[in-house]
């Protein structure tokens, strides 16, 4: 397990609704489909100036996890 931690004096994002942890998954589509079929919320956030999106899963405690593929 690895954590990416940012230490900064910038408080502008302290109440950001997209504060989250990130999980690197071998097969993102399978993981997301399984989570979705179990009732977890899947959130797609469009990237600015790109056709891609950020992918998040929200658990029953409202924790938000960004899902990236290895």
Residue 13: pLDDT band (50, 70, 90) is low
Residue 1: pLDDT band (50, 70, 90) is low
Report domain extents, the chain: 21-69
Per CATH, domain 21-69 is 3.20.130.10: no
Over the stretch 22-70, which tens digit does the pLDDT of each residue have? Answer: 889 999 989 999 999 999 999 988 988 888 888 999 988 888 899 999 8
Contact 35, 28 (CB under 8 A): no
67/56 Cα distance (integer angstroms): 6
In this prediction the pTM is 0.69
């Amino acid at each position: 397990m690895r954590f990416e931690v940012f230490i900064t004096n910038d408080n502008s994002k302290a109440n950001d609704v997209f504060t989250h942890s990130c999980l690197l998954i071998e097969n993102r589509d399978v993981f997301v489909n399984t989570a979705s079929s179990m009732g977890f919320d899947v959130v797609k956030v469009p990237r600015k100036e790109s056709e891609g999106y950020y992918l998040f899963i929200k658990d029953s405690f409202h924790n938000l996890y960004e899902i990236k593929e290895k």
